[in-house]
Structure 1
Amino acid sequence: MSLSVRIGLVSLVVLLILAFVGYGALLRLNVLPRLAFAPGWVLTDQFGERFTSEDLRGAITLYTFDYSANEDPRRQTHDLMSDVQNQLAKQDLGDVPVRLVTVTIDPTRDTPDILRTVGENRNVDFSRWTFATGDSASIRVAVNHGFGVYYEPDPDGGVSYDPTFVIVDGMGIERARYRYGLPPVDNLVGGLLSVVSEAKAATGSARLAYEAAHLFSCYSTTP
């Protein structure tokens, strides 16, 4: 066997080993897919201040949609968001901002004062968790048309809707949706931490690895 052939075989083996190691590394990254651009919106926070989607640019955000008078335990997202807030407080997030946003679907009754009281009664950290309201048209545009969450007033004064949680990354891209029921808190926190890990690796070779993982994820899920 000539020297050039042996060198070629050794090079091929090395490439196969590197490919195998790289494939394993991509699998371990376990990235959340990039689903779609999140909608833009302009609303009002619990202090009566203007609150927009641009205020969250650069932050990883978990959205949900509820109303203060909700008494249905099957749709009670406030308790679950409180659990998420408490678990995030125990995590090392580095310098990656993580925000929680609850958008009311009953804006007529859920004024900023009402939402602030709801938050205070739940010991909400308003620097992380924001409650948003607005006029009925703005809420409809943001929630129904923007995030695709259907809701409708009930004859008994409540609101019919399907609990929905959406994770949006710092670039304004939806990364995960949890619908039709209340997911385990570990699923929500795990999803947020997955995007946090990706944000921490936003530069250098680690970023290339994450981009490769996204590319691999796209092709591996294509029918």
Structure 2
Amino acid sequence: MAGTIQNRTKFLNNISEQLGRPKPIKVNKPEWEYQPQEKTLTGLSPSQLVDLLEEQCKKIHTGFVKTTKASLDSTLRDVIKAYNQGEIIAWNDKRFEENGINLEQYQTYIWNEENGEENRVVAEKANIGITFSDTTLAESGTVVLYAGKGKGRSVSLLPTHYIAIVPQSTIVPRYTQAAQEMNKMMKDKERFPSCINLISGPSNSADIEMELVVGVHGPVKATYIVVEDI
């Protein structure tokens, strides 16, 4: 159920009064004469976007695998095997079935919001978390995840390893396109997710003596599996 903001106008007017400022007025969205961000990398073809994503994955220490829809189940099996399988947690997402993925062949826990705290406990102990990417940014190697019913954010944040299944059709040049999609979603309260996570591979830190450490928090390793669907 979408949330609502109660007494917003009264609340803002009270703050303005206490600060001795005029009451808030409606702000019109500015129209910028130049918007170079909307043109950057937009000339790339779908295959070039995949190449850019692959190159960026090398920089963010993230595994990258390309496959077809027909081979996706076996490709996923290989990646899971490379991570020593163990307990797996995944979204309750119809895209698994639509893409011929059989999660029952693994020791898989499917996220269920009715189980409450149990979901987080399982995610924390799991070896692998698996989700689909809703939007994918080629420039930064980022998967954008829209949380919601059956799609808990802990699945991508708490397990030791993370696998993102990336339909090629979700790959866009950069954050500009993702923001445009989010702005469209904001107009539909029923469609807007409860949380949006942007994940660019495992965490990186060089705070101590400039020595790079990967996987400081969250998953230690991550792999993106790009599926040719266009």
TM-score, structure 2 normalization: 0.21
Structure with a larger share of its residues in helix: 1
Rg bigger for which structure?
Answer: 1
Which structure carries more relative contact order (alpha carbon 8 Å, separation 6+)? 1
TM-score, structure 1 normalization: 0.21
